[in-house]
Structure 1
Amino acid sequence: MSLFIFFTVIQALVAAALVAVVLMQRSEGGGLGIGSSPGGAFGARGAADFLTRTTKWLAVAFVTLSILLAAMAARQGQVGDVSTTLERGAPAAPKPDLLADPVPAPAQSAPVTAPAQPAPVQPAE
Structure 2
Amino acid sequence: MQNIVLVILLILALSLIVTVLMQRSEGGGLGIGGGGGNMSGRPPASPAAKFTWILGAGFMAACLALTVISARNAANDSLLSGDLTPPAAAESDAPATPLGGNLLPPSTTDGPTTPPKADE
Please report the TM-score for the alignment, with normalisation by the length of structure 2.
0.54
Aligned pairs, number: 80
- Based on CA coordinates, which of the two structures has the bigger radius of gyration? 1
Distance 1:16 1:71 in 2: 22
- Matched letter for residue 14 of structure 2: A
Q: 2:19 aligns with which of 12, 18, 21?
A: 21
- Counterpart in 1 of 2:105? none
Stretches of structure 1 that go unaligned for 5 or more consecutive residues are 92-125
Stretches of structure 2 that go unaligned for 5 or more consecutive residues are 91-120
Shift of 1:13: 0.3
- Counterpart in 1 of 2:5? 7
Shift of 1:90: 3.3
More contact order relative to length (CA 8 Å, sep ≥ 6):
2
Q: Report matched runs for 1:75-114 at 5 Å.
A: 75-77=72-74, 78-79=76-77, 88-90=87-89
Distance 2:88 2:55 in 1: 51
Distance 1:90 1:27 in 2: 64
SS at match of 2:46: helix
Percent of aligned positions that are identical: 29
- Matched letter for residue 61 of structure 1: G
Structure number with higher helix proportion: 1
SS at match of 1:75: helix
